[in-house]
Amino acid sequence: MARTAVTQPATPQESFQHKLSGTLNERLALSGLAYSVPEHANSLPYILGGISLFGFVILIASGVLLAQFYHPHPSSAHNSVIYIMTQVPFGDIIRSIHYWAANLVTLLVLIHMLRVFFTASYKRPREINWLAGLGLLAVTLGFVFTGSVLKWDQEGVEALGHNQEIGEILGSLGVWFTGEFSRTVPILTRLYVGHVTLLPALFVVLMAVHFYLIKQLGISRKATADATSGPTSATSGESVTSRFTVHLQKMVGYGLLLFSFIIILSLFFPAPLGKAGIAGAEVTKPPWMFLPIYPLEDLLGITGLLIGGATLFILLAAVPFVDRSPWLSPRRRKWVIAVGMIILMALIILGGYAWLSRPAVHLIQ
Ligand code: HEM
């Protein structure tokens, strides 16, 4: 009896909301989203991927606005960025939102990956989803890299120089990354096309695989002392005590917090822009996410960047195939956690060293 009384709309406003939700539910089958999930799936560490996705929505919206005024040609790219910052209404803040969202989303994706690593959520049967996640990480870094070239200041021109050199080292495999590929369209314009069409398309495909697998396999079990890997669908006997709609609500809540933080950062620390770039000089540092492999360039030249980046991705890809015990708890995977922590520390130290040291001045031919 009491239950009926609670669900009955009491005021005209509640009655309207009741009708609206009924109408929407009937057409969009929204109740299908209220499926059962384990309680821990709605805790912050397990929502980081969703918050990253929310950040991508901010990136798409601000990126579409920027694209109305950005001109992807070497002769006018830098000037068009200055135009966005000085002439377009709210242009400076939109550009800063795009910049800070890119930085924070990359950080969130990395922390999300660390969560998956600590809770061993990459174990059977989620190995392929770990690899799809690695693909998403590569795409995220690809967005940052191409984006840093587009502003066409000194940092952008140097990043493009690296892009071309790596393309040349890769030979016929890397020809797309060099000016040789097309005589009619400048490489800056092609990287812009990569930034706004190729990478987003790859992102959508990988995201679809990622989400399909999460839905089919369920979220991994809580990494308690005796927990083992396995699928966690509602039928597999896992105790389910919450709903996916709660997950979505929390994701949007944290996402809006992220957006507020991005706006505050954008207001107080506008996105930087260097002077128009001069090809040949190397006087800037790359964005922070590339800093850990930056010292390798001083040691081995551009090949060092390629070797460093490839080694990291190969090591990460190997994780589910090396750590094959069924245990999820970090306490039962001490050596894997120790190796992971040593590599993480080494990357932070290398990044810190690159951050503090002045860039070595190289001259590209
Ligand atoms: C663009 C970047 C990414 C987005 C938007 C994303 C999104 C998500 C979302 C929404 C989930 C559901 C649970 C959660 O939020 O923790 C998830 C789970 C997962 N993600 Fe990602 N992800 C990204 C990158 C990665 C990366 C870099 C990896 C690892 C290399 C990864 C591996 C996984 C795995 C294995 C799961 C299943 C976790 C479990 O069952 O507990 N993801 N991802």
* Cis, bond preceding 12 (omega within 30 deg of 0): no
Q: Determine if ligand 1 sits within 6 Å of the CB of residue 214.
A: yes
Instruction: Inform me whether the pLDDT recorded for 310 exceeds 50.
Output: yes
pLDDT band at 262 (very low <50, low <70, confident <90, very high): very high
- Domain membership of residue 151 (yes or no) is yes
Instruction: Inform me whether the pLDDT recorded for 170 exceeds 70.
Output: yes
What digits encode the pLDDT tens for the residues 62-110? 999 999 999 999 999 999 999 999 999 999 999 999 999 999 999 999 9
CATH number at residue 134: 1.20.810.10
41 Cα–ligand 1 center, Å: 12
Shortest-distance Cα residue to atom 25 of ligand 1: 133
**φ and ψ at residue 135, rounded to 5 degrees:** -60, -40
Of 54, 108, 112, 248, best ligand 1 pocket probe by most atoms within 8 Å of the beta carbon = 112
- Domain membership of residue 8 (yes or no) is no
Provide the pLDDT for residue 11. Answer: 86
pLDDT band at 281 (very low <50, low <70, confident <90, very high): confident
- Domain membership of residue 360 (yes or no) is no
Q: Determine if ligand 1 sits within 6 Å of the CB of residue 54.
A: no
> Are 277 and 155 a contacting pair, CB within 8 Å?
yes
**What distance in Å separates the CA atoms of residue 180 and residue 168, rounded to the nearest whole number?**
10
Q: Which of 14-18, 234-238, 339-343 has the highest mean pLDDT?
A: 339-343
- Domain membership of residue 226 (yes or no) is yes
Nearest atom within ligand 1 for CA of residue 46: 16
pLDDT band at 357 (very low <50, low <70, confident <90, very high): confident
- Domain membership of residue 157 (yes or no) is yes
Q: What total of structural domains would you count in the chain?
A: 1
What digits encode the pLDDT tens for the residues 102-145? 999 999 999 999 999 999 999 999 999 999 999 999 999 999 99
Of 39, 40, 107, 116, best ligand 1 pocket probe by most atoms within 8 Å of the beta carbon = 116
Shortest-distance Cα residue to atom 11 of ligand 1: 49
- Domain membership of residue 181 (yes or no) is yes
Domain of residue 87: give its range: 40-233+240-283
- Domain membership of residue 19 (yes or no) is no
Residue written as token pair 């009926």? 4
- Domain membership of residue 79 (yes or no) is yes
Which contacts of 257-265 are long-range, i.e. CB under 8 A and separated by 24 or more positions?
258/51, 258/54, 258/55, 258/58, 258/104, 258/108, 259/54, 259/58, 261/104, 262/58, 262/97, 262/100, 262/101, 262/104, 263/93, 263/97, 265/96, 265/100
Nearest atom within ligand 1 for CA of residue 214: 37
Provide the pLDDT for residue 236. Answer: 54
**What distance in Å separates the CA atoms of residue 9 and residue 17, rounded to the nearest whole number?**
8
